[in-house]
Amino acid sequence: MLEFEDYGIHEGVWSGHLRGAERPGRVCAVCHGDIVAEAVLGEREEDGWSLRIEVPGSVLCDGVTSLILVACDSDAFPDDASFHLGRLNLVAGKALDHDIAAEIAEIRAELELLKREFRRCCARD
């Protein structure tokens, strides 16, 4: 069983540590069902391998993009033996500004409703 410890992304490189008894044949980053990058595994360490993936700029766009880290033992991807290891969510662009503003406005409206109801309940007592 493989386990991925995510170290995050820095300067366009997603890194982490892959633990397991056996080295997978292939580890890839998948976006929208397509392989966008292949991981580089370091030399065997005590409990696994260091892992690095250069995130291609082509996956960046306005909004949220998810990269899924997948291990498989064959060159045919995806296959029945493919194993989901982790996910990296990338958030960028102007579309995000609108989404956050809408969420904040909704939270404020809900808070105002709660305050009004709380005051109404306290006034009855």
Q: Which tens digit of pLDDT belongs to each residue from 9-68?
A: 999 999 999 998 888 888 999 888 888 999 999 888 888 999 999 999 998 888 788 899
State the pLDDT at residue 77: 63
Strand ranges of the sheet holding 26-31, from the earlier edge strand across to the other edge: 34-38, 26-31, 63-72, 83-92
Q: Where does residue 93 rank: exposed (0-12), middle (13-18), buried (19+ CB within 10 A)?
A: middle
pLDDT for position 32: 85
pLDDT attached to residue 79: 65
Q: Tokens for 25?
A: 């044949």
- Cβ atoms 72, 26 nearer than 8 A: yes
Percent of the chain with pLDDT over 70: 90
User: Does pLDDT of 120 surpass 70?
Assistant: yes
**Residue 80 confidence (pLDDT):** 67
